[in-house]
Structures are given as C-alpha cells and as structure tokens.
C-alpha cells in the first residue's frame, strides 16, 4: 500500500509544481492531441522512453507489449497503428527495443513459459532465420544484443507490410518508420534504421546487418 500511496502523492506534487510554473499546462493539452510520434515499445518497466526523450503529454502516441512486437494478426497494435496514421496523421512510427529484454531472452532459450511462448514465436523464428550470423558471434551477451536488434528490424518490416502503411505509402503519404534500441545500461537510444519510407527500403531491413546512423 505504501508504494501505491507514493504514486498519488507524487502525482499531486508533480501537478502542483507544473501548474505553479504554467497554470494552463494541463488545460491546453486537454483538447485535441496532435502527436508527431507513435512509439511501439516493450512493456519492460526499465524503459521510460517518454521520460528520457522529454516529450510532453500529447506528443507521443504509445503502444507497449512484451518484446515490442508488431504482429500482423494482433488487432491491438494494428488498431493503434491505424488510428495513429489515419486519424492522428503521425509522421514517425518508431519501434523501440531494449537490451536485456526478458521477452527476447525467453525466445532464445529452450524453456517453455506457457502462453507467452505463442507471443514470442516470431522472435524464435527470427533467431532461426539469422542462425548463420548469430552462430558467428562468440559472446553470448553480444548474441543476445544482436537478437534484440534483429527483432526490432523485423517489427519495422512487419509494420511496413500492414495495409495501413502500404495504403499510406501508395498515396504518397507518411509515416516514416524507424527502428531504435534502448540501452538500459546507459539510458541512451541508438538508431538501428531510420527513415524507412517505402518498400525498397523496407525490403533491405532484414538483409542489411546494420544501418548507418546518418541514413
């Protein structure tokens, strides 16, 4: 109960602090939301992307699930995507993975975890598809990091294949797709692939080992 109480106390003191500096802060944001970003991230509690990127309420539309999946049969993420692209007209759709992702780790092992195994099946498939590359990474820690990155790239590719993104691109519209990884050791976001704006670039996603930052 102490922890829960702390949430309400923090909430009141943060609101008091913010409104003292800017009395209209919340009132201004209560109207229409016009976010520039959709973030698809992992549910992991160590990944507070909104806090660490300094976005204000109304700037980032967010969907989070275990291991930041964008699965073609997941009505939840597809609905979020459709609303973000077709109604909110977000410019940037970002998939953000993170190192030390428990979901990715679970998918790399042989142990069964019950229901969540179904959710993680796509990552197992990614591991299998990239077996050649992964087997050549001697360090198990580096291999783990690489699977985190490959998982992000695959989810960006998955997004590119959705009817929502295909439809937008065919009309010459945004969004731009981006793949990022968050390093929980130092708090920094690293771009893996940026500005995927069409099918040619999307096709390269699963073949290019690493995209350059300035891309």
| φ, ψ for residue 33, nearest 5 deg | -90, 140
Say whether 96 is catalytic: no
- 25 vs 143: CA distance, rounded Å: 45
Sign of CA dihedral 202, 49, 23, 21: negative
| Token duo for residue 24 | 């209209």
Q: Are 80 and 104 in contact (CB under 8 A)?
A: no
Q: How far is the CB of 2 from Co ion (least distance, A)?
A: 27
Shortest separation between residue 100's beta carbon and Co ion, angstroms = 8
x/- mask, Co ion, residues 93-132, rule CB under 5 A, reads --------x-x-----------------------------
Question: Which parts of 3-42 interact with Co ion (CB under 5 A)?
Answer: 42
Among positions 44, 106, 164, 178, the unique one binding Co ion when judged by CB under 5 A:
44
Residue 65 or 82 with smaller CB distance to Co ion: 65
Question: Is 63 one of the catalytic residues?
Answer: no
Pick between residue 42 and residue 93 the one whose CB is nearest to Co ion.
Answer: 42
Instruction: State yes or no: residue 177 binds Co ion (CB under 5 A).
Output: no
Q: Would you say 36 or 64 has its CB closer to Co ion?
A: 64
- Nearest approach, Cβ of residue 101 and Co ion (Å): 3
Catalytic choice (96, 101, 146, 154) = 101
DSSP string, 16-42: HHHHHH-TTHHHHHTS----SEEEEEE
Cβ atoms of 58 and 32 within 8 Å: the answer is no
Going through 13-125 in order, the beta strands assigned E by DSSP cover 37-42, 60-65, 92-98
Q: Least CB distance from residue 68 to Co ion, whole Å?
A: 7
* Centroid of chain to Cα 82: 16
Supply 88's token pair: 């909110």
Let me know if 101 is a catalytic residue: yes
Which residues lie near Co ion (CB under 5 A)? 42, 44, 101, 103
Which residue numbers are catalytic? 42, 44, 46, 98, 101
């Amino acid at each position: 109960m102490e922890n829960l109480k702390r949430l309400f106390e923090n909430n009141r003191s943060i609101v008091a602090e913010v409104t003292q500096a800017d009395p209209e802060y919340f009132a201004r944001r209560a109207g229409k939301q016009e976010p520039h970003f959709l973030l698809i991230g992992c549910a992991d509690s160590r990944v507070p992307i909104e806090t660490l990127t300094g976005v204000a309420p109304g700037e980032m539309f967010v969907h989070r699930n275990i291991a930041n999946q964008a699965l073609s049969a997941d009505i939840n993420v597809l609905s979020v995507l459709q609303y973000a692209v077709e109604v909110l007209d977000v410019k940037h759709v970002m998939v953000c993975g993170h190192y030390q992702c428990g979901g990715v780790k679970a998918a790399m092992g042989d142990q069964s975890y019950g229901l969540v195994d179904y959710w993680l099946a796509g990552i197992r498939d990614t591991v299998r598809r990239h077996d050649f590359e992964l087997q050549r990474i001697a360090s198990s820690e580096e291999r783990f990091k690489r699977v985190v990155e490959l998982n992000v790239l695959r989810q960006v590719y998955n997004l590119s294949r959705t009817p929502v993104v295909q439809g937008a691109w065919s009309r010459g519209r945004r969004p731009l797709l981006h793949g990022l990884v968050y390093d929980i050791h130092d708090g920094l976001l690293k771009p893996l692939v940026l500005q995927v704006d069409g099918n040619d670039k999307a096709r390269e996603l699963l073949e290019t080992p690493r995209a350059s930052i300035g891309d």
